[in-house]
Amino acid sequence: MLSAGLKGAWEMLVSGDPVLYEIIFLTLKVSSLATMIALLIGLPLGVYLGLRSFPGRKFVVSVVNTLMGLPPVVAGLIVWMALSRYGPLGFLEIIYTPTAIVIAQVIIATPVVTGLTLAAIQQIDVRFQEQIRALGANQLQFLWVLVKEARYSLLAAVIAGFGAAISEVGAAMMVGGNIFGQTRVLTTAVVLEVSRGNYEVALALSFVLVFITYLITAALTSLQQKQYKWS
């Protein structure tokens, strides 16, 4: 069955199956947008938590660490309750749309990015930070040097955030509805084919998902390792 799945994945890719490529495009569009939003939120928040001391900081950090393991179906339920017809944001009428999937994936990916960014900043020696200050760097210059110092770990945060977004299925199914041509992404398409008993098609779609994820993460990893090698 595995060989049949691999063969099916290859045939679907090289044949230019319009249905498959539509699903792939939507998957990449939704997950990439969710990852970018998660980075815009998670990177600054992680840096702030890594540098600042304030009342309740330990509680906030523990919440972030807890949310890193948030079950996707819980995130999906929260988004569904907020966006459903009788929810507080129901008037937006975006439930069962790609936007709803993006929101759910952002909730899942942001704690991952925040937690890994926090860990990266905390690994920087305090004496190094003091040296930057002593050299007269302003706040913006200080932050830039820290981010540059932690860039390898921050790239790992990007990879992990994207992985959390593109591999999610429970929340996407719950808030997207797996509607053909509208909200069907690779993960929900796999679940659908399994429910229909089309295991070879499900395997083929799974291999396509793994292949696409590998290509993107491999590119980011190559960038990370190249910078590390020549820095």
Instruction: Kindly state the greatest CA–CA separation across the chain.
Output: 66
Whether the CB-CB separation of 111 and 68 falls below 8 Å is answered with: yes
CATH of the domain at 212: 1.10.3720.10
* Predicted local distance difference test score (pLDDT) of residue 181: 86
> In 10 A of CB 9, how many CB atoms?
22
Q: Give how many domains the chain has, as a whole number.
A: 1
- The pTM of this model reads 0.88
* Predicted local distance difference test score (pLDDT) of residue 230: 45
The tokens for 154 are 């921050």
* Predicted local distance difference test score (pLDDT) of residue 175: 94
What's the N-to-C CA distance of the chain in angstroms? 46
Rounded Cα distance between 48 and 188, Å, is: 36
> In 10 A of CB 147, how many CB atoms?
15
* Predicted local distance difference test score (pLDDT) of residue 33: 97
Q: What tens-digit pLDDT sequence spans the chain (231 residues)?
A: 557 666 666 676 677 778 888 988 999 999 999 999 999 999 999 999 998 888 999 999 999 999 998 898 999 999 999 999 889 999 999 999 999 999 999 999 999 999 999 999 988 888 888 888 888 888 888 888 888 888 888 888 999 999 999 988 989 999 999 998 899 999 999 898 888 888 878 888 888 888 888 888 888 777 766 655 544
- The domain in which residue 207 lies consists of 2-230
Unique residue bearing structure tokens 């053909």: 180
* Predicted local distance difference test score (pLDDT) of residue 194: 86
